[in-house]
Structure 1
Amino acid sequence: MFVFGSSLVDNGNNNFLQDSMAKADYLPYGIDFPLGPSGRFTNGKNVIDLLGDQLKLPSYIPAFNNPSTKGSRIVHGVNFASGASGILDDTGSLVGRVISLNQQIRNFEEVTLPDLEVQLGCSSRESLPHYLFVVGSGGNDYSFNYFISNTNVSLEAFTANLTTKLSLHLKKLYSLGGRKFVVMSMNPIGCSPMAKAMRPKREGCIQAQNRAAHVFNTYLKSMVDVIKPQMPASNIVFVNSYKIIRDIIKNPTSKGFKDTSNGCCDVSIEKGGNGILCIRGGKTCGNRSIHVFFDGLHPTEAVNIWIAAKAYASNLKSEVYPFNLKQLSII
């Protein structure tokens, strides 16, 4: 499995970026992860770890930026994702250095691929059809770009540009040999504690932000059908994590959740936080499994378990389209 995207799928690449504020290599991040704080932006496993469990991968996918990710360590895949990054190259610049989706794919092509060919003793054209390519990016392009920039571009035009760029990235990976693709939807960013804190007197989710996510996801799902004929012998699966999380928020008790509004760790600006990430060494709630959000933006491991399970085995086309990852993995 090769992984590209933002903090929802980053497993430690940003740990190695000196001048980045988007890091999760400290407690309480990783409080429930077997290896402790690792750079995953949640309390335990992220959705990639859990998909790896479902797919019976032998170990955690290593982070590209880790100097030890080379040689035999790359045979089962590499994670290139970077917290705060986006589809657009300038997304995330306000937190310092991040690795854009563009650069992530360059890292794959220029560094990992030649090494992989040596390790496997065959061309990437022969080996890559056996790998899953997971792309989870887009949310930051709205939260930390569109909604804070003084742009006059309409939401539809911005989204069309974004999904066009994303389709070009998928075609690039296809041209390198990839044949099995998973694209993750944008989460309901308007329901995050970060979004709600901007309008504390209003109940419920911020509709403008959720509408942006909904528009992006609609484009993304239709893109699956549009570009598949342009990529012969490929398969693309759309995982609707937006719906999976919204269903939990709308009916939490039936799924074992209680708190759908508050982050589990302390992110308060009054105590030196930034309203998004956990304060280093700060307090955290006792029962993380009943919380939807761990910090101001990212879901708990408990939510990630739901997303991974649905992605792997759901037969509902509204959750995973056109079929699930279990079916994709055996094609």
Structure 2
Amino acid sequence: MIKVIGENGAKEMLKKAMFTITIGSNDILNYIQPSIPFFSQDKLPTDVLQDSMVFHLTTHLKRLHQLGARKFVVVGVGPLGCIPFARALNLIPAGKCSDQVNQIVRGYNMKLRDSLRTLNTELRSGDHNTTFVYANSYDLFLELVLNYRQFGKYWCFG
């Protein structure tokens, strides 16, 4: 970018760009997978997993900010307890979701939302153009999954 539009042009482009970040689903899916006997270690408590995920994401968001990014939309993790993989692992019948998995997701999303509020407070003080927005995909997709008939004949949950 710098070679094409120069350093000042790149900084201006980054300031105007909107960064959309969707991350975390694979971390949680890997966490809920059964361990392989004899090769596995004990799993971390879920709050440690969630805190670690939020810490690493926050570190990367701060780095993007240092590089000039100012507008962020961070999408929370959806209701993974409703996907076939998680339901099969927990023997959840059709039309139901794994509360255990969704509880992990909700905890992560809550911590992520709190972290973004903190980033807004910390990073806006010097630069009022910095904005972190949390996008709540969890409630949106849970509504689609649990009430799919309301949304037309092409939505299916089985």
TM-score scaled by length of structure 2: 0.83
Aligned to 2:44, what secondary structure does the other structure show? Answer: coil
Q: Which has the higher helix share?
A: 2
> What is the SS of the residue equivalent to 1:121?
helix
Q: Find the counterpart in structure 2 of residue 225 from structure 1.
A: 117
1:236 match: secondary structure: strand
Look up the match of 2:2.
117
Partner of 2:88: 197
Q: Secondary structure of 1:260's partner? A: coil
Q: Which amino acid aligns with 1:212?
A: I
Written as runs of structure 1 = structure 2, the 5 A alignment for 1:42-191 is 116-123=1-8, 124-144=10-30, 146-148=31-33, 150-191=41-82
Paired with 1:118 and 1:178, the residues of 2 have a C-alpha distance of 18
Q: Distance in 2 between matches of 1:217 and 1:183?
A: 10
**In the alignment, residue 158 of structure 1 is paired with which amino acid?**
L
**Equivalent residues in 2 for 1:246-257, closer than 5 Å:** 246-256=142-152, 257=154
Q: What do the CA deviations read for 1:77-131 (whole angstroms, capped 9, x no partner)?
A: xxxxxxxxxxxxxxxxxxxxxxxxxxxxxxxxxxxxxxx1222234232220111
Q: Which amino acid aligns with 2:82?
A: C
Distance 1:192 1:201 in 2: 10
Q: Secondary structure at the match of 2:73?
A: strand
Q: Does 1:208 align with 2:100?
A: yes
Contact kept? 2:19, 2:71, Cα under 8 Å: yes
Decide whether aligned partners of structure 1 residues 156 and 201 sit closer, same or farther in structure 2, where only a CA change above 3 A counts.
closer
Alignment of 1:253-268 (within 5 A): 253-256=149-152, 257-261=154-158
Cα distance in 2 between the residues matched to 1:175 and 1:168: 11
Aligned mates of 1:236, 1:260 — CA distance in 2: 33
Structure 1 counterpart of 2:72, one-letter code: F
Amino acid at match of 1:130: K
Checking the alignment, whether the CA contact within 8 Å between 2:119 and 2:132 is kept in structure 1 is no
Task: Return closer, same or farther for 1:175/1:201 CA change in 2, 3 Å cut-off.
Answer: closer
In the TM superposition, residue 151 of structure 1 has moved relative to its aligned partner by 3.1
Aligned to 1:41: none
Q: Which residue number in structure 1 is paired with residue 38 of structure 2?
A: none
Distance 2:42 2:93 in 1: 26
What fraction of aligned residue pairs are identical, expressed as a percent?
26
- Alignment counterpart, residue 139 of structure 2, candidates 201, 224, 243: 243
Residue by residue, what CA displacement relative to the aligned partner does 1:197-245 show, whole Å, maximum 9, x if unpaired?
Answer: 2244635111111111111111111111111122233101111111110
State the TM-score, normalized to the length of structure 1.
0.41
Structure with larger RCO (C-alpha < 8 A, sep 6+): 2
TM-align CA RMSD: 1.8
How far 1:156 sits from its partner (Å)?
A: 1.0
For 1:255 and 1:246, the matched residues in 2 are separated by 13
Shift of the alpha carbon at 1:195? 1.5
Deviates more, 1:207-216 or 1:229-238: 229-238
Amino acid across the alignment from 1:141: D
Deviation (angstroms), 1:155: 0.8
**Matches of 2:48 and 2:63, distance apart in 1:** 23
